[in-house]
Amino acid sequence: MSVYAAAITLFLVMDPLGNIPIFLSVLRDVPEERRRAIIVREMLIALVVLAVFLFFGRYILAGLQISEESLRIGGGTVLFLIALRMIFPPRPSYDGDLPEAEPLVVPLAVPLVAGPSAMATVVLFATQHPDRLPEWFISLGVAWIASAVVLTGADGLRKRLGNRGIAALERLMGMILITLSVEMLLDGIAQFAEKL
């Protein structure tokens, strides 16, 4: 996988367009001039979390004795399920139960940006080609910057595109992610079949 393809995969998994309504809902009681600073802070926390999983996640997997084939098949399955949720989104659940205090780490940084799927994806990249860690980190940085740009401009983007426009873009991204997840699944199954 190229750096470009890895960056696109990570951007799709982080799903900034799908997170716009939730971010706006969580930050609705925060003064508008403070929102951007909070989003930048939460994005930086998410970047640190994902970088830790990129550089050290494979050691955790080695300790748990999880094979590369299992990781590919599991990662492909998780990505496939995420893509299905992007195409057929559930009803938003962050409506009335949120505290009025300014959010810190949860739920914006983790699990919305640096969720289990993003963590699994960076671990998968690092496990498949540990010699390419600098490239994977560049991919993570590119995906993170693109996600940060989308989320810091969430108010303006929602006004320009509207809810329907954002939903259409998210579904298109879901279709792309489905093809990437199927490719990952097929690679894992092929590797497993070679061992038999």
Q: How many domains does the chain have?
A: 1
Which range is least confidently modeled, 153-157, 171-175, 189-193? 171-175
Distance CA(131)–CA(104), nearest Å, equals 34
Mean pLDDT (the chain, rounded): 85
Q: How far is CA 50 from CA 116, 145, 158, 168, in A?
A: 10, 13, 27, 27
Domain residues for the domain of 85 are: 3-195
Confidence of residue 146 (pLDDT cuts 50, 70, 90): very high
Token representation of residue 102: 């300014």
Amino acid at 95: D
- From the list 155, 160, 145, 146, the residue with the least C-alpha distance to 34 is 155
Check: CB of residue 46 under 8 Å from CB of residue 103.
no
pLDDT tens-digit series, residues 114-144: 987 788 889 989 988 899 999 999 999 999 9
Q: What is the pTM of this model?
A: 0.77
How high is the pLDDT of residue 96? 47
Look up residue 130 and give its DSSP letter.
G
Q: What residues pair up with 104 in beta bridges, in sequence order?
A: 106
pLDDT tens-digit series, residues 37-55: 999 999 999 999 999 999 9
